[in-house]
Amino acid sequence: MDFLHDQKGIWLFPFQLGKGHYWLPTLAVAGGTAGLIVADPHIMPYFRSHQGNLDDVNDVFDAQISTAAVVAIPATLMITGYARHDNYQVGTALLSAEAYADSAVVDLAVKAITRRERPADVPPGAPFTNTFFNGGKSPFKGSSFPSGHAAGAFSVATVIAGRYHTHRWVPWVMYGFATAVSLSRVTTLAHFPSDVFLGAALGYTITRFQVLKPR
């Protein structure tokens, strides 16, 4: 029921804008995304030409490894929370899963619409332009915009950072981890910088303003 309530709030968000709410963060996210879309074709050639130098980093942040690491955090909280009979910790794990699912639905919906070609699929020597509405056969797997890894990592990080903010090191560790996962999607040529920026913004804002809001 919480998940359905979240989705209702997310997809009715334009009505909040109509009432004059949340314009500043919306403009910040839209402006940042637009600026990076313009910059993407000029940034990606560097990472394509330096793939050999980034092999060690890319191996550590492989797509499957990154996904497993993000999922392992709430799973570990859940297991240890039950073992310690810590309801707050179990609740944090459940909220992390809820936030992850909420951001994933939005991410997949935008992917299906934009169908952006991934940087790795751009032929060698070809420019990184005209990538939107040019993805593979699958509207999800072959679509780059936005980054699901960034959305998932920041949704989980925002829950844990918010719930344990009294431990000053927790927000730094969680957001640092989410940032590393997100940036790795650019170095591996899986995503453009604008994909990662929007994914991170979606993960943070959906969690901060929908999942963690008082009910």
Model pLDDT, residue 140 = 61
| Number of domains composing the chain | 1
Q: Is the pLDDT of residue 138 over 70?
A: no
Q: Which residues contact 161 (CB under 8 A, 6 or more apart)?
A: 170, 171, 174, 175
10 is a domain residue: no
181 is a domain residue: yes
**Percent of the chain with pLDDT strictly greater than 90:** 71
pTM above 0.85, yes or no: yes
What would the pLDDT profile of 144-201 be if each residue is shown by its tens digit? 999 999 999 999 999 999 999 999 999 999 999 999 999 999 999 999 999 999 999 9
Span 36-43, average pLDDT? 96
pLDDT band at 95 (very low <50, low <70, confident <90, very high): very high
Rounded Cα gap, residues 156 and 117, in angstroms: 27
32 is a domain residue: yes
150 is a domain residue: yes
Span 197-213, average pLDDT? 94
Rounded Cα gap, residues 92 and 74, in angstroms: 8
1 is a domain residue: no
Model pLDDT, residue 61 = 72
83 is a domain residue: yes
Domain region containing 55: 21-211
> In angstroms, what is the C-alpha Rg of the chain?
18
Span 29-40, average pLDDT? 96
What would the pLDDT profile of 99-136 be if each residue is shown by its tens digit? 999 999 999 999 999 999 999 999 988 999 999 998 76
Q: Which residues contact 50 (CB under 8 A, 6 or more apart)?
A: none
138 is a domain residue: yes
What would the pLDDT profile of 7-23 be if each residue is shown by its tens digit? 998 999 999 889 988 89
93 is a domain residue: yes
